[in-house]
Amino acid sequence: MEAAAPPPPLPLLPDSNPGVRCFLDGRFRSAADLATAADVEAEIRGRCAELEALVSDLSVCIYEAAAAYSSCREAAGLALRGVRDGLGALKASISTGVGEEVEVGTEKMQFEQLPALASEVARVEMVREYAETALKLDSLVGDVEDAVSFSVTRKLKSVGDNSEKTHHVVIGYLRNIEDILASVTMTRPQWACLLSAVDHRVDRSLAILRPQAIVDHRALLSSLGWPPSLAGSKFSSIDSGKQAEIVNPLFSMTGDLKSKYSESFLSLCHLQELQKRRKARQLKGHNVGNQLRQPLWVIEELVNPISTAAQHHFSKWTDKPEFVFALSYKILRDFVDSMDEILQPLVDKAKLIGYSCREEWISGMVIALSSYLAKEIFPKQIELLQESSSSDAGCTPYQARVSWLSLVDLMISFDKRTQDLISGTGLLLTVKDDDNWQRISVLSVFCDRPDWLEVWAEIEKQETLDKLKSAMESEKNWSTRNEGTMLEYGSDDYKSPVISAAVQQSLSLLIDRARPIPSIALRAEFIRMSASPIISEFLGYLLRRCQEAEGLTALADDNALLKVSQSINAARYFESTLTEWCEDVFYLEMENLSVNGEGGCIFQLEINHLKEFRVEWVSKITTVILRAFDSRSRDYLKNKRQWQEKSEGPAVSRAFIESLDYMQGQLSKLEGGLNALDFVTVWRSVASGVDQLLFSSILTGGTKISNGGVERLQGDLSVLFAVFSAWCLRPEGFFPRLSEGLRLLKLDDQQVRDGVFTDKNWLREHGIRHLTAADTEKVIKNGVYEA
């Protein structure tokens, strides 16, 4: 039997597509591949279905564009026909009068029609411009939509395709569109509907383009080996041994990979720059402040994966936050140079103004760390504080507070080192306001959680008060003076006790803890909640010491006066310190805030309370001295006969000298124990009280005073003036009533006989400026004038 003949070969189709032949050759290399013919057929049918769907979408887009074009063309045609009709009418009206005598009324009518005609021409021109702009924008937006659709389709066919070139083409179209829209916004703001329609279509394209560009960029980062492995760094012993450096893939990329990454980087930067321009145009005229500024997208794509990888390590160190901060800082430090050397030139090339890759890298990592602290670390700290108050707690309240403060110490130290990284190149933060400062500070967690700030302030206040409590109870700290507290304009010091300097130093350290808080309002709130209660507590302690001294001896004892003087000195020193602080820029920034209720310095309420305390107890000291003087000079003041007798010896009263001796002794003791400013207030108040007492008791008290009495009074007053000459050059000036009363008594009978002593000119002529006419009349009537 003859063997069966082989099947004839398939005829070759000379007109078949070379691409089809290549495709079939690749799929059917041998006879065994024929078994996969069904799969190949399914694949071909699937691709055909995709292409048909794409063709259908493109047909819809072309139909919409054609309809829009037709509508615009019809509108333009109508407008042009209207112009043609108007010009024809104008021509007809002009040609009618050729060769004929034109009447005045007709000329006037034609002249009145010219503005309406000009307005119609302008309207037609605007319609033409609108049509051209709409057609141009429609064409550009259509190009964008086609390019985006083509890019998506090609991406579905070939996952590994690089679409950076397509992105650059689309971005070029979008820039042209944005230029036209910006021009329209400036010149034709009434075309708001056109702007809205274009923005809507562009937003739909950007909603596809940006995620696609980000996906491509992430794929490139993954091929670069980003994020790098962090397992090689040892953080269990922070202070011992040299930490291993993390490998930086940005430095190691070369050749085609580096070129592709640069193109993808520039694409994202251009997209962000375009988005920034669009938002600025859309929000023009609104007070948006710093809201247009967004984090740099390309840096975000570097931060997110490496921060996620770092959190895997963070989860192992929940009880050792120092390791968390150490790893975070190491990541910041090891990659910050590549931001300047590799990425910053690309950002500058993209003309993305106002961005520093160094700042963006640091702020991105800081924000990631802040988020981790807010989610994982601080809730456990709050839970520890709450549990420490219970009887079965694993730690004491003191240990819980120490744990909290240690965490804050780590945050403050981390912020200082990260800010050194920013300023280490000699560059300052681009814009140092609260928003930008919060981006580079982990203390920004308190900006989002003011209740945690309140907890921190309460812990700081309690710790400071615990340290000061024993110091305030030690009498040695009150009896020992604080050296070096010199007055600004004098040679004497405040004579304040050591405790006042201790409180001031503790308060200063506490306020220094608030300086890194990245918000003026929160810094003011922290100071109000922590520092202000400490000042109030100190003032309360001063008040209790004074009240104890007053209750025991009514301030008649020297020790009691010394105790009150020490408290007044401490209040004066503290008041001066707070006033000086309020002149610092750190506190001036808080003046316009309403946190202190009344505006002005944040310590204004405390300064007022300290001042009220001083004034009250200086007044009490003055009252005590005056009461004692009044008591000791009571016999002297009741002896009215002495003013009518003529003494043969020295014209000085012994009882008055004894009273003056007591008063001088008290003032001398106060001079040694009280600060100079408040002592001046005391002796001047005492002088004013003595002046009022003697004037009302002797000169206007109904006592007749002869010439001998005048001599005695003059002798007594000379001794009084001598006592106060130790503190002033012209003591009689601080006893105006007595001095002027004595001057009136020395007048002769002729000068007072006319009864003109109530006239203001007469009083001024005789140097009487502090006595009223009634007081002058009483003094003169009490005088016994001899002819």
3-state secondary structure of 491: coil
CB atoms within 10 A of CB 358: 21
Q: Are residues 562 and 710 in the same domain?
A: no
Q: Are residues 586 and 662 in the same domain?
A: no
User: What does the alpha-carbon distance between residue 158 and residue 175 come to, in Å, rounded to a whole number?
Assistant: 28
Q: Are residues 531 and 602 in the same domain?
A: yes
Of 731, 621, 767, 638, the C-alpha closest to 693 is 638
Q: Are residues 216 and 256 in the same domain?
A: yes
Q: What pairs with residue 497 in β-bridges? A: 481
Determine the pLDDT at residue 690.
Answer: 94
Q: Are residues 460 and 607 in the same domain?
A: yes
For 649, counting Cβ atoms within 10 Å of its Cβ (0-12 exposed, 13-18 middle, 19+ buried), the class is exposed
Q: Are residues 460 and 574 in the same domain?
A: yes
Which residue has tokens 């395709």?
161
In a domain, 194, yes or no: yes
Phi and psi at residue 304, in whole multiples of 5°? Answer: -60, -50
Determine the pLDDT at residue 94.
Answer: 52
CB atoms within 10 A of CB 729: 6
User: What does the alpha-carbon distance between residue 498 and residue 217 come to, in Å, rounded to a whole number?
Assistant: 65
Q: Are residues 685 and 730 in the same domain?
A: yes
In a domain, 105, yes or no: no
**What percent helix, strand, coil does the chain show, rounded to 5?**
75, 0, 25
> Are the CB atoms for 421 and 332 separated by under 8 Å?
yes
In a domain, 304, yes or no: no
> Are the CB atoms for 732 and 721 separated by under 8 Å?
yes
Determine the pLDDT at residue 529.
Answer: 95
Determine the pLDDT at residue 269.
Answer: 92
According to the 3-state scheme, what is the secondary structure of 163-204? Answer: CHHHHHHHHHHHHHHHHHHHHHHHHCCCCHHHHHHHHHHHHH
Of 152, 135, 129, the C-alpha closest to 58 is 152
Q: Are residues 554 and 675 in the same domain?
A: no
Q: What pairs with residue 579 in β-bridges? A: none
In a domain, 403, yes or no: no
- What single-letter amino acid sits at 105? G
In a domain, 1, yes or no: no
Cα–Cα distances (Å) from 357 to 245, 290, 484, 498, 505, in that order, read 21, 18, 49, 51, 40
Of 748, 676, 736, the C-alpha closest to 710 is 748
Determine the pLDDT at residue 595.
Answer: 47
Determine the pLDDT at residue 237.
Answer: 40
Q: Are residues 479 and 604 in the same domain?
A: yes
Q: Are residues 218 and 258 in the same domain?
A: yes
User: What does the alpha-carbon distance between residue 654 and residue 600 come to, in Å, rounded to a whole number?
Assistant: 55
In a domain, 546, yes or no: yes
In a domain, 189, yes or no: yes
Which residue has tokens 């910041």?
332
Q: Are residues 132 and 174 in the same domain?
A: yes
Q: What torsion do the CA atoms of 182, 185, 188, 191 make, to the nearest 10 degrees?
A: 110
Domain end residue (candidates: 262, 284, 306): 284
- What is the 8-class DSSP label of residue 649? S
**Grouped pLDDT means (10 residues each) for the chain, 787 residues:** 48 54 71 74 78 75 71 68 65 52 51 71 80 89 86 65 71 90 89 90 90 89 87 48 67 86 91 90 74 84 92 88 93 90 91 88 94 93 85 76 94 92 64 70 93 95 93 87 53 77 94 92 93 94 92 81 92 93 90 61 92 95 93 88 72 84 93 92 95 89 81 90 93 91 78 63 74 80 65
Q: How many domains does the chain have?
A: 3
CATH of the domain at 696: 1.20.58
Structural domain of 145 = 115-230+251-284
Q: Are residues 595 and 720 in the same domain?
A: no
In a domain, 316, yes or no: no
CATH of the domain at 561: 1.10.357
C-alpha 320 chain-centroid distance: 32
